[in-house]
Structure 1
Amino acid sequence: MTTGRRYTWARMFGAGLVLWLLTVAVTFLTANPTLVPTLVLLGSFLVPASFIAWAFEHRLTAEITATLLLKIFVLGGVLGVLAASLLESYLLRPSVGLFASVGLIEEAVKLLALAALTRELRVKAPRDGMLLGACVGFGFSAFESAGYAMMAALTEQGLSLVDLVATELLRGLVAPFGHGLWTAILGGVLFSRSGRESFLLTVPLVLSYLGVSLLHALWDSAHSVAVLITVVLSSPNGWSPETAPGWISDPTPGQVWLLTAITWVWLAVVAAIGVAWLSAVIVHYWRSRGTPKSGYPISTRGRWWPQRWSGEPG
């Protein structure tokens, strides 16, 4: 690859950011509601699409084509969002374990989508698994962010461009530390224990799935945890069962500041744990290349039931 091609992702991100800022400016100046879909799509897909370009430049094997990355991004994202929505609608009810349940469901859906869409790859290297896993996660994040942006824009007072832009800025900033990061970890572990014909269901994969589901739950619970801590620290009587979950009625300026600070510190800690974990996965599988594999084999070529494991490295 030439040096110029290595930075296609940066030029794509820069051009996309300029277009998004121009769209924001024109939308505010003209108050034209027909520009809202353009604003939502550009803001939601800017970071994920730039990552796809980066992943293509850093792929390890020739099998990882632009077509494959695009298919995984779109199909993995859409199918993941749809499946998660169906499962969460029918299985989840408001409860103490709601965030944990959401994490378990969404991470399972993304992992299954990754395995299904990459089953035909002849070479399954951990590095490619991380890239492809991140593509599925970023696809999920892009479509989910578009939905959140539209919800933020539609208020009781009408269309709120300020809320829409604020939501897209926030989700764009945290996008690299959420779904993409978590599914990248799972992809690296999944591909590290695979052969040309099989994925392996192993203890590290199960533990990694539970771990990223926990990170997901901690991430989603940031606001609720921040509300609880804010009430405990700032209210004379501390927390009480009458406190409404998820918000504070008529917060003081001090409570608003404290709530915001706690939320961002919580998210930063969860993000740091995820980044450190992914770094450890990279280092571990770099050092253990060629190590014999063991686990419960699951066929990935035409059928999904167990078959005999030959022990052949991927």
Structure 2
Amino acid sequence: MALPSARPAAGARSRRVWLRMFLTGALLWGLAVVVTFVTGNPNLVPTVVLLGSFLVPVTFVAWAFGRRRSGEVTSELLFSTFVAGGVLGVLAASLLESYLLHPSAWLFAGVGLIEEAVKLAVLAVLTRHLRVKFATDGLVLGAAVGFGFAAFESAGYAFTALFTERGLSLMDLVQTELLRGVLAPVGHGLWTAILGGVLFSASDHRHFALTLRLLLSYLGVALLHALWDAMHGIALVLTLLLTGTPWQYVQLEQGYQPQPTALQADVFTLLSWGGLALVSVIGVGWLLAVRARARRGERPPTVLWRIPAR
């Protein structure tokens, strides 16, 4: 009589692996930060950077892994999509952005289009040999590629934040990792999960296909990405339009940066974080819609071009 009750308990424990991973990783990261502060040992900085950058992405990938549909989505495949997808995505995006983008009003739109295209292409290449392609698995594998991209990108931002005009700043590094860790679930992982679900649903369960829905989803996700990156500038412009004074406009025309008032600082903070929250809500709602459609099943899509499996 003990065996039937033991199985559900074991299943519940396996489903909570992601929580144990997060708590253990957070404790280790906190210890690494404290010891680095106390000792001032620069050799510990890579430990702080890696733990802080990978903790949230790895946790969410582990959580998503428990929600896969097919047994073909193995831990080895998930690991390869996370690491290879993240590294290849970061390298390809960096190359393309360096050669194709220049400072302009459309800079963030270009970043969104390039990075989402790169992640989608990497996902399609790494998973093209799956014998059966379920949309639910596309969500999981898309999230793995996106979170891998986010982890390596966050490590770069954290490392850069370490170097300041005052010298090495562990506090700036920690603040950067905390901020990016909080925002990670509604960034790259979310956007590529959406594209993964649409990509896998736009197939005949064996071959990927370019469909109108996939194209529109790619453009929509790239737009969310661009709005996310540009939110600081958008909030700044809206703050000046709503609360700007004549003397501030004069200073801007003369090439000076006007000192913001206390009210403007509050309005800017509200608009900036409110905009990020709005983009996040849209992204999460879109992901839930893709997930619901994947579970219901759908009619065969109108194929524009079939991508060969080999």
TM-score (norm 1): 0.90
**Equivalent residue for 2:108?**
99
**Equivalent residue for 1:307?**
none
Contact 1:232 1:238 in 2 (8 A): no
Cα deviation for residue 259 of structure 1 reads 2.3
| Superimposed CA distance per residue, residues 164-202 of structure 1 (whole angstroms, 9 cap, x where no aligned partner) | 111111100010101111111111111002134411100
**2:18 paired with 1:13:** no
- Which residue of the other structure, out of 285, 304, 310, is the alignment partner of 1:296? 304
**Equivalent residue for 1:232?**
241
Give the CA RMSD over aligned residues.
1.9
User: In structure 2, what is the Cα distance between the partners aligned to 1:41 and 1:159?
Assistant: 17
**Equivalent residue for 1:68?**
77
**Equivalent residue for 2:145?**
136
**2:217 paired with 1:214:** no
Q: Note the residue ranges of structure 1 that are not aligned, 5 or more in a row.
A: 303-314
**Equivalent residue for 1:257?**
266
- Which residue of the other structure, out of 168, 189, 193, is the alignment partner of 2:198? 189
- Which residue of the other structure, out of 120, 126, 130, is the alignment partner of 1:121? 130
Where 2:246 maps in the other structure, the secondary structure is coil
Pick closer, same or farther for the CA change 1:259–1:231 going to 2, 3 Å.
same
User: In structure 1, what is the Cα distance between the partners aligned to 2:51 and 2:262?
Assistant: 33
Cα deviation for residue 254 of structure 1 reads 3.9
| Superimposed CA distance per residue, residues 195-237 of structure 1 (whole angstroms, 9 cap, x where no aligned partner) | 3441110000000000000000000011111121222333312
Pick closer, same or farther for the CA change 1:212–1:239 going to 2, 3 Å.
farther
**2:179 paired with 1:179:** no
Where 1:94 maps in the other structure, the secondary structure is coil
Pick closer, same or farther for the CA change 1:300–1:8 going to 2, 3 Å.
farther
**More helix per residue:** 2
Identity of matched residues, %: 58
| Superimposed CA distance per residue, residues 97-145 of structure 1 (whole angstroms, 9 cap, x where no aligned partner) | 1111110000000000000000000110010001100110000000001
Pick closer, same or farther for the CA change 1:81–1:243 going to 2, 3 Å.
farther
Contact 2:134 2:201 in 1 (8 A): yes
**2:232 paired with 1:223:** yes
Number of aligned residues: 299
TM-score (norm 2): 0.91
**Equivalent residue for 1:306?**
none
**Equivalent residue for 1:43?**
52
Pick closer, same or farther for the CA change 1:257–1:3 going to 2, 3 Å.
same
User: In structure 1, what is the Cα distance between the partners aligned to 2:250 and 2:229?
Assistant: 21
2:77 corresponds to which letter in structure 1? L
Cα deviation for residue 287 of structure 1 reads 2.5
User: In structure 2, what is the Cα distance between the partners aligned to 1:211 and 1:98?
Assistant: 17
| Superimposed CA distance per residue, residues 263-293 of structure 1 (whole angstroms, 9 cap, x where no aligned partner) | 111100000000111111122232334x233
**2:64 paired with 1:55:** yes
1:53 corresponds to which letter in structure 2? A
User: In structure 2, what is the Cα distance between the partners aligned to 1:80 and 1:5?
Assistant: 30
1:56 corresponds to which letter in structure 2? F
